[in-house]
Amino acid sequence: MRKYSDKKNVQLKNYYEDRFYHALQTKKVSIEGSLFEDDFRAISQKFNIKKSFIELDFWVIEIEKDDNVEILKELKNLGYEVFTDASAIDFIEQKKGFEIYYQLLNIERNLRVRIKTFVAVKDKLQSVMSVFKGANWCEREIYDMFGIFIINHANLKRILMPDDWYGHPFLKTYPLEGDEFAKWYEIDKIFGKEYREVVGEENRDPGFVNEKDTLNFSRVYHEVAKGEAPREDKHLQEYQEEGGVPFVKKIKRSEAKILNKRR
């Protein structure tokens, strides 16, 4: 068996990869004897519950996807009346589909439940808007970001991306800096495809810095007015305006001290 290596200060190493390491999972506690036991028995008599356990004070249940509306109705009747969240996780490579989850809150008893189900690629999911109006935007985001079609939704369309956007950004196969369509989207939309060579490709590198662009960037000790030509000589600015600041002691750079230790 391969010897386990210490994971502390991993970020300080130039190269680190342990393909045999599996992150520790959170502890899953039995439902028996818990505050959720009666609620579990109430719904398990009516529906097929694949799994049920407590994890980080959440009651977690896994259900059939076609039961999502009716189970949420039953949980609402049991006191879980506040809809807090819904989203999806891409498991296409591992399971050929998505894990969908809903989260509800019982305010009176201070209890939370997470309902999970599985939707295969190209399968559809029933909307739960008829039970919780708050699911409206969450379901639109699931459709927009993952491409999962929600049946019987009142207004199923994109919520974050433009209506004519190509692809779904939360898929693990979606490029981090966008695909070919994303690179030219604003140019094509504003100017037209014929201007691609004139304007040039959009820079999608979040770490890009252009020292010569003084409209968007400022170089420390080489500051200039916005839009002016950059300067190469070092320029040490004073900390305050020439006339000082009311009620604040005048600070001069020439009188600054470097502290080698805490006072």
User: What is the separation of C-alpha 71 from the centre of its chain, rounded to a whole number of angstroms?
Assistant: 27
**Predicted TM-score (pTM) above 0.85:** no
- Element counts in the chain: helices (H) and strands (E): 6, 8
Please compute, for residue 30, the number of CA atoms within 13 A of its CA located in the half-sphere on the CB side. Answer: 2
Please compute, for residue 190, the number of CA atoms within 13 A of its CA located in the half-sphere on the CB side. Answer: 8
The conformation of residue 115, written as its DSSP 8-state character, comes to: E
User: How many residues belong to the chain?
Assistant: 263
Provide mean pLDDT across the span 204-210: 79
pLDDT, one tens digit per residue, over 96-112 is 999 999 999 999 999 99
| Cα distance between residue 188 and residue 211, in whole Å | 27
Lowest-pLDDT choice from 18-22, 37-41, 206-210, 231-235: 18-22
In this structure, are residues 144 and 159 in contact, taking their beta carbons and an 8 Å threshold? yes
In CATH terms, the superfamily for domain 26-151 is NADH:ubiquinone oxidoreductase Nqo5 subunit (3.30.460.80)
* Of residues 121, 123, 122, 159, the one with CA closest to residue 139: 159
Q: Is the pLDDT score of 238 beyond 80?
A: no
Letter for the amino acid at 210?
N
End-to-end CA distance of the chain: 52
Sorting pLDDT into bands at 50, 70 and 90, what band is 15?
low
Residue given tokens 């433009």 in the structure block = 162
Q: For the chain, what are the domain ranges?
A: 26-151
Q: Is the pLDDT score of 159 beyond 70?
A: yes
* Of residues 87, 61, 105, 193, the one with CA closest to residue 143: 87
pLDDT, one tens digit per residue, over 51-106 is 999 999 999 999 999 999 999 999 999 999 999 999 999 999 999 999 999 999 99
Largest CA distance in the chain: 79
